[in-house]
Every structure is written in structure tokens, then in C-alpha cells.
Amino acid sequence: MAEETRALSIDALRAGRGDAMDELHALLLRAARFELHRRRRLPYDEAEDLAAQAANDAMVALLRKLDTFRGQSRFETWAYKFALLEAGVKARRRAWQDREVPLDDFVLHDAGPTAQQSVEDADTLRAVRDAMRTVLTDHQRQVFIALALNGVPIDVLAERLGSTRGALYKTLHDARRKLRAAIGGES
């Protein structure tokens, strides 16, 4: 039965049949709802709205990539993934929608030696702080602070800076490489 449904659904989707489109959208909506309600951070109405948006965006992405389905898994499993990913992105963006993305210099304080912190830790902290000031460009420092220290999701930062995720990944990679080289780690 599942084999017939899968073949029928894929063929019907390729043909643009309305009933297959409705069935696929219902599956994507269930997946998006599952992901958003699993996170339990949004009020029900907001989660439902985001789930509908995620299902719509997942449907567009899936139909665009329909010809890439290789049949190595059930079609429903493959389709479900699109909705989960879209819902996750929407939830992360929503979580940061009303929050400021700090791009200022991040102040690393020496807490002084404690029972849990050795002198080596304080020296390393000082070396990282100095390297961030001297080795990184302003842009690299902003991106490093936002992504690595403040935990801003990369898609949110890309949207705020008018950049792409790839460009920010490259900037973060270069910043980490420079910091490792500056504090004596491997390059």
C-alpha cells in the first residue's frame, strides 16, 4: 500500500494534481506543527501561524527539488524533513525577532584566580582578548562576537547584516584561524 501511495503521490505531484498537493501540504503542516510544538517556546496561535508559513515554504522548496528525490527513503520521510528544517529556521528567527543582536566589542573579564581557575586560564583569556583586538578586523570581530560568544543564529545575523550565511561562515572561519595562530594554536 505504501509503495502505491508513494508512486502515486510523486507522479501526481509532478503532474500538479490538486489532491496530491493538498495531501502533501497536510503532511508538511503536521511536521511543522510537531517541530514548533516540540520546542514549546511559542504561544499556540503564534506556533500555528509559523507552522502554516513553514509548511508553505517547505512545499515550495520540496516541489522545486522534487526531481532530486532518489527513493533511498520513503517519500514521506524525505518530505517531512523539509518542513522540520523550515520550522526550525522560522522558530530561530522568531526567537531573535525582537532581540537586539549585539555587535559591539565583547568584554572578557579576568575574574582573577579562583579555586576552579588556574593562572593558565587567565593567561589564555588575556591572550584571546588581546588577539581579538589586534588580529581581527572590525567585521571579523563583530561576526565572531555575535556567533561564537553571544550565540546569535547565523541566519538571523545574515539577515541583520544584509549578508549571506556562506559569507558569515567564511568570516567566522577566518577569525578562528587568525585567533588560533595568534595564541599559539595550530593554524
User: Which residues fall within 8 angstroms of residue 136, CB to CB, at 6 or more apart?
Assistant: 144, 175, 178, 179
List of domains in the chain: 2-95 (1.10.1740.10), 119-182 (1.10.10.10)
**160 touches 101 (CB < 8 A):** yes
pLDDT of residue 14: 73
Residue 43: alpha-carbon gap to chain centroid: 21
**13 touches 21 (CB < 8 A):** yes
- Written as one letter, the residue type at 80 is Y
pLDDT digits (tens), the chain, 187 positions? 344 344 446 766 777 777 888 888 898 999 998 888 887 677 777 788 889 999 999 999 998 988 888 888 888 888 889 999 898 888 888 877 777 777 766 665 655 555 455 677 777 788 888 889 999 999 999 999 999 888 888 888 998 899 999 999 999 999 999 999 988 865 4
pLDDT of residue 113: 56
pLDDT of residue 1: 36
**Sign of the alpha-carbon torsion through 57, 61, 64, 69:** negative
**Sign of the alpha-carbon torsion through 105, 111, 113, 116:** negative
- In whole angstroms, give the CA distance from residue 136 to residue 175: 6
- Written as one letter, the residue type at 97 is Q
pLDDT of residue 136: 93
**57 touches 86 (CB < 8 A):** yes
User: Which residues fall within 8 angstroms of residue 14, CB to CB, at 6 or more apart?
Assistant: 66
